[in-house]
Structure 1
Amino acid sequence: MLAVVSGGGTAGHINPALALAEELASRGWDVRFAGTPGGVEARLVPAAGIPFTSFEASGFDRAHLASLPKGVAKIAASTAKARRWFREIKPDVVVGFGGYVSIPVARAAEKAGIPVVLHEQNSVMGMANKYLAKKAAALCLTYECPGCDLPASTPVHLTGNPVRRSVIEADRAAGRALFDLAEDDFMLLVFGGSLGARHINEAVCALKDELLARPHLHIVHITGPKELASVTEALALTPEQERRWHLMGYQDRMGQTMAAADAIVSRAGATSLAEISARGIPALLVPYPHATADHQTTNARAYVEVGCAFMVPDGELDGSLFAERLASLIDDPAVREAQHRAACGRKTGQAAAMLADVVEAEAKGGRRAVQ
């Protein structure tokens, strides 16, 4: 069986797509990936050993309507290219994870009668998935409500958001060895996504003395590449303090890093939340306030409501609430245990298998009549 997986634009689309590809490959599937030539997928997918084919695709700027014809022309050309590609490789199913590139790939599949399965990572459905959902064979969701009206004719499955095995299977002892942590050391992991989060960095730095007053606390602080210099200057750590405050701009061993963590402070992007949930790590979430339709707040609220995490709005980072919630997370084992149990109850580690089950069922259903 052959699956084409498509998505692009951000790691939030690509990482769950790669998690599905891993699961399908373990079941004996052949997997190909369709993405944009300049997106992060063009680097991550080949690095994962998956054949990659590029397609041009872009949206349009509502403030500059002149960009619309160019975007439409790219999608039309890529749709034609995808149809030629499909005639050559004959896929059994196409799986779209969002991003503009999934539009021409899914449209080409529809025209060829190939079933299309969509996966939505966030609590608010992205534009590409919203556009494609009406004709999809199945729509798989991370949250019970994706923030928009769902097409009545499309079967909907709640699968959760797939997480790569490098995160789920990462070894805690190996992760703690990365930072020379003793068994009784407490590791707080702070990160804001691949680009960092300036306001989170500033709020944590403001608590430097209070945090370092805990003798067994280690902070692993991933600032984002552009923020490392300013955070280093703001903290002005002594050599002794640097032993317990581990600063870095970027970390490419996030699986082991998360495995080592006892608690986390982070934004509420879909991939970050799925990885935190899959590992059952207690967390304090600070949603990015400018995300489309404020979807990070909706993402985080779903975790808070079932007891997996605390949440502090970005606008309240400079007040007492952030310091109080962080202190509770660090100092109260009962709080962490309750959050750990609640996160494990979401069974996020099974999401890739659940999504793969849907993909297999649709592929085995055969090709649809071409419209």
Structure 2
Amino acid sequence: MSNKKIIMTGGGTAGHVTPNIALLPKLKELGYEIEYMGTENGIERKLMEAEGIKYHIISSGKLRRYFDVKNFTDPFKVIKGVFDAKAILKREKPDIVFSKGGFVSVPVVMGAYFNKIPIIIHESDITPGLANKLAMPYATKICVTFEEAMQHVNKKKAVLTGSPIREELFKGSKIKAKEFCGFKNDKPVILVTGGSLGSRIINSCVRESLNDLLKTYNIVHLCGKGNLDRNFNLTEGYVQFEYIKDELADLMQLSDIVISRAGSNTIFELLALKKPNILIPLSAKASRGDQILNANSFKKSGYSVVIEEENLNPLSLQEKINELNVNKETYIKNMSKSKERDSLSNIIKLIEDCRIKR
């Protein structure tokens, strides 16, 4: 039986779980017993159970910045969640809690605080999300991904760690990916992804541009659940998938250009893999604007080409792809110069330090 124990939390979207998954191999190697706390139907449950991690269910309500009838009932679910989490943590006695944010994390962080358990929070974006804002006063340390984020959090607690990257992403095979996609030629490959839920606006723009793009490129399109279009099933040089897990590392290695949303985890993976990319951040109308800040930070550093969602159309997309293709060596060079942080080691060291100092 291990004498080191960590309980992790975070959920609501894959972005609040992926960095936790990246930490698992190293934590196991160091002999940690790992458990997870999340909601009954959250994406985090499916992802963690697939990793064979013991999972505890707690109640939690969604924290919204807009009016909704559920705003009157959800605070009671959060309060119930705090009692759920407090009882589980008292029973399980972890040495430390690691939180990746998302509304499920708030009760867990508060429950840990009441049990006097050290808490590390990881914030992916430049400005903290609502859940992390509520949880941060209870944290022992706050990991941030962007340098610009330091001015938005308590500097005494903040540590610039970067975003942990899953090690398997570096081990992909171009040959396997080419075979998997059935590509018959050596045209450069564009990988299109709209995040774990897909993006209708990106999907339709890419499909409208196919006739022109396929003259020069092969295209791999990760279009999100329920977004496959059968009309393109037999289009040579174009393959579409709802979601890819096991083959993602291979597809990343195969791709010459990536078109993506600007979620923090994804863009730091592109930076680590030095993939020339076009970012199409979620518009401020559909989000709190975090992706716009992420994308502009990467544009300023010379890592990414950015198209604002409002300016996205087949013509602007093709122009930016051609521009990126011509200048891709410059972008690769800029990404190679980035202060490559060994985020995984930074975060693991922080976990070990906080556990020892307890």
- Give the TM-score, by structure 1 length: 0.87
For residues 55-90 of structure 1, the C-alpha deviation after alignment (integer angstroms, 9 at most, x for no partner) is 110135566576345323222222222222222221
Shift in alpha-carbon separation, 1:346–1:92, aligned structure 2, 3 A: farther
Output the amino acid matched with 2:267: L
Residue number in structure 2 paired with 1:228: 228
- Secondary structure of 2:165 counterpart: coil
Contact 1:13 1:99 survives alignment (8 Å): yes
Give the number of the structure with larger relative contact order, counting CA–CA contacts within 8 Å between residues 6 or more apart: 1
| Partners of 2:281 and 2:292 within 8 A in 1 | yes
CA–CA separation in structure 1 for the residues paired with 2:179 and 2:142? 41
The residue type equivalent to 1:288 in the other structure is L
Closer, same or farther: CA 106–343 of 1 in aligned 2, 3 Å: same
Alignment partner, residue 172 of structure 1? 174
User: 2:254 aligned with 1:260, yes or no?
Assistant: yes
Equivalenced residues, count: 353
Equivalent position to 2:89, from 86, 92, 95: 86
Partner of 2:196: 194
Structure 1 residues 147 and 58, CA gap change in structure 2 (3 angstroms): farther
In 1: Cα distance, 2:38 partner to 2:164 partner: 18
Higher mean Cα deviation, 61-70 or 357-366?
61-70
CA deviation after TM superposition for structure 1 residue 319, in Å = 6.8
Cα distance, 1:7 vs structure 2: 0.5
What residue in structure 2 maps to residue 336 of structure 1?
A: 328
Give yes or no for contact 1:187–1:220 (8 Å, CA) kept in 2: yes
Q: Which residue of 1 aligns with 2:239?
A: 246
- The question of whether the paired residues in 1 share the 8 Å contact of 2:128 and 2:152 is answered with no
Report which stretch shifted further, 49-58 or 21-30: 21-30
Q: Partners of 2:187 and 2:314 in 1: how far apart? A: 28
Q: 1:70 aligns with which of 68, 73, 76?
A: 73
Identical aligned residues as a percent = 26
Q: Does 1:317 align with 2:317?
A: no
Which residue of 2 is the match for residue 369 of structure 1? none
**2:355 corresponding residue in structure 1:** 363
- In structure 2, the residue matched to 1:19 is 22
**Partners of 1:11 and 1:40 within 8 A in 2:** yes
Contact 1:125 1:147 in 2 (8 A): no
State the 1:249 CA deviation. 2.8
1:104-143 deviations in Å (ceiling 9; x for gaps): 1111111111111100112221111111212311110111
- Cα distance between partner residues in 1 of 2:188 and 2:63: 47
Is the 1:189–1:263 Cα contact (8 Å) retained in structure 2?
yes
Q: Would you say the 8 A contact 1:163–1:351 is kept in 2?
A: yes
On the 8 A contact 1:194/1:250 being kept in 2, the answer is yes
Shift of 1:291: 4.4
Check the 8 A contact 1:274/1:348 in 2, yes or no: no
Where 1:224 maps in the other structure, the secondary structure is coil
Q: Compared with structure 1, are the counterparts of its residues 142 and 62 closer, same or farther at alpha carbon in structure 2 (3 Å cutoff)?
A: closer
Match of 1:279 among 273, 276, 279: 273
Distance verdict in 2 for CA 1:320–1:179, change over 3 Å: closer
**Secondary structure at 1:292's aligned position in 2?**
coil
Gapped runs of 5+ residues in structure 1?
Answer: 367-371
CA gap of 1:62–1:321, structure 2 versus 1, over 3 A, is: closer
- Secondary structure of 1:12's counterpart equals helix
Q: Which stretches in structure 2 are left out of the alignment for 5+ residues? A: none
Q: 1:310-354: per-residue Cα shift (whole Å, max 9, x none)?
A: 011111112743321111223x2xx22222233344466732222
Paired residue secondary structure (1:207): helix
Task: Say whether the 8 Å CA contact 2:220–2:238 is kept in structure 1.
Answer: yes
Range with bigger deviation, 310-319 or 105-114: 310-319
After superposing the two structures, state which structure 1 stretch, 5-14 or 81-90, moved more: 81-90
Q: TM-score, normalising length from structure 2?
A: 0.90
